[in-house]
Amino acid sequence: MNSLTWHERAKAVLPAGGFGNFDHDVFIRDGKGSRVWDESGNEYVDYLIGSGPMLLGHGHEEVLDVVQQQLGKGMTFFANNTSAVELAEAIVEAVPCAEQVRYVTSGGEADMYALRLARAFTGKQKIFKFEGGYHGMSAEAQMSLAPHINANFPSAVPDSAGIPDSVRDDMVIAPFNDEETVTALLDEYGNDIAALIVEPLQRIIPAKPGFLAFLREQCTQRGIVLIFDEIVTGFRLAYGGAQEAYGVVPDLCTLGKVIGGGFPLAAVAGKQDIMRHFDMAEVGREGFLMQLGTLSGNPVAAVAGLKTLEILRRPGAYDTLKAYGQRLQSLFTDHLNRHDHSHQVVGDPTLFDVLFTNDSVVDYRTAKAADAKKNAVFNQHLRAHGVLKSPGKVYPCLALTEADFELTENALIAACEGLSS
Ligand SMILES: Cc1ncc(COP(=O)(O)O)c(C=O)c1O
């Protein structure tokens, strides 16, 4: 059976015939290194890499080895295991804000608990979030994630059905990179705001110089918990994440993707005086944040994550990743320019995409103004020529080879010609 037949079969048992994640007619059969193969037998250079986790590439031998050893010892216990403690130690060592770590299973869960933790710590209710900022699927996170209308700030627009209206009242929504509006909103609502959550690289949009430091300063002055959502940027932008790369330390951060080495694992990490709300003995019943999960700290995920971090600590890993990313960025831009396709490569070498617009991209609305149809066609052409990527991102991985760059360049040439025709 090929991908299309599987898609038909899936429609009977999965709403919309898929998991809700990626195009539902793509069924990936295998992955090895930088490549994946679909059920129709097509081979791709993989710039989707599981939406970020497979930074080392698929099936890295050393990761496979520790996972296989762990599988023989047991897959999940619910009780503590030593590998997850060692992984927490590695996170505390690496990530500037991390004094303690609490495991969960998905990034969205980590974000949900980080917000709740900020509320427990401050005794305040409101959440400050940026329009277009992605923080998982909780009710708060679904506010103005990808709104179809331009509401007046700070009004929140729910992006999902099924969310009580009351959630909207607790949200303050602001445009990313806009210090003036942020200041005005903080002046008005600051006393009621528990947390300000931000992706330090919002999807692919970089913070303007000084913007994250400005947020840090504002949150410190006003007693607001600053949360960096580092589900994507953690162990990608640098070993210590965006907080290391940009030199701004939040109170809490959320981590996922890379720390589970391809298995379900995520975490809230941060300052001990906030994290202590997970410990009833420390804060008493009133301040206690109840949190547990069947697969939290799963030992298979923990050994995979631990080995992944060990490999990432080896000399040159991040230089290589950045060099690969820069080389890809140049390839994209050179070929698009050669074919006169006005565009910008937006993001960081370790995570970027092309936006078809001449206007400067600083927030959700300016990104939305780019030509999305052209982007979709470009991505389709790339895929038809053996390059798989997400609709909004290129994720370079460390397993890329010369053959991958060559194939990518040929796919880019074809895609640029395709766009012109
Ligand atoms: C910035 C950010 N936060 C949170 C999440 C949610 O993580 P998960 O899909 O593991 O729930 C994602 C997922 O892509 C993300 O990009």
Domain boundaries, the chain: 61-312
Between strands 126-130 and 193-198, the pairing is parallel
Ligand 1: atom nearest CA of 264 is 10
Q: What are phi and psi of 414, to 5 degrees?
A: -65, -40
For residues 101 and 88, is the Cβ–Cβ distance under 8 A?
yes
Q: Indicate if the pLDDT at residue 110 is higher than 90.
A: yes
Rounded CA separation 35/31 (Å)? 6
Q: Is the CB of 106 under 6 A from ligand 1?
A: yes
Ligand 1 binding pocket mutation candidate from 232, 235, 254, 353 (most atoms within 8 A of CB): 232
Rounded CA separation 221/223 (Å)? 6
CA of 160 to the centre of ligand 1 (A): 16
Q: What is the pLDDT of residues 63-84, one digit of tens each?
A: 999 999 999 999 999 999 999 9
Q: What confidence tier does 399 reach under pLDDT thresholds 50, 70, 90?
A: very high
pLDDT at 362: 98
Is there a cis peptide before residue 206, judged by omega within 30 degrees of 0?
Answer: no
Q: What confidence tier does 3 reach under pLDDT thresholds 50, 70, 90?
A: confident
Q: Is the CB of 190 under 6 A from ligand 1?
A: no
Question: How far is residue 257 from each of residues 49, 218, 232, 307, 331, measured CA to CA in Å?
Answer: 10, 29, 7, 14, 27
Beta partners for residue 354, in sequence order? 345
- Can you tell me the mean pLDDT for 138-146? 98
pTM for the whole thing?
0.98
Q: Is the CB of 135 under 6 A from ligand 1?
A: yes
CA of 414 to the centre of ligand 1 (A): 32
CATH architecture of the domain 61-312 equals 3-Layer(aba) Sandwich (3.40)
Q: Is the CB of 134 under 6 A from ligand 1?
A: yes
For residues 23 and 379, is the Cβ–Cβ distance under 8 A?
no
- Can you tell me the mean pLDDT for 39-58? 98
The length of the chain is: 421
Rounded CA separation 145/65 (Å)? 39
For residues 231 and 257, is the Cβ–Cβ distance under 8 A?
yes
Mean pLDDT of the chain: 97
Q: What is the pLDDT of residues 4-43, one digit of tens each?
A: 899 999 999 999 999 999 999 999 999 999 999 999 999 9
Ligand 1: atom nearest CA of 199 is 1
Q: Indicate if the pLDDT at residue 363 is higher than 90.
A: yes
Catalytic residues: 134, 229, 257
Q: Please choose, from the candidates 369, 384, 370, 372, the residue with its C-alpha nearest in 3D space to the C-alpha of residue 418.
A: 384
- Can you tell me the mean pLDDT for 354-368? 97
For residues 222 and 190, is the Cβ–Cβ distance under 8 A?
yes
CA nearest ligand 1 atom 16, residue: 232
Rounded CA separation 247/284 (Å)? 35
Rounded CA separation 304/300 (Å)? 6
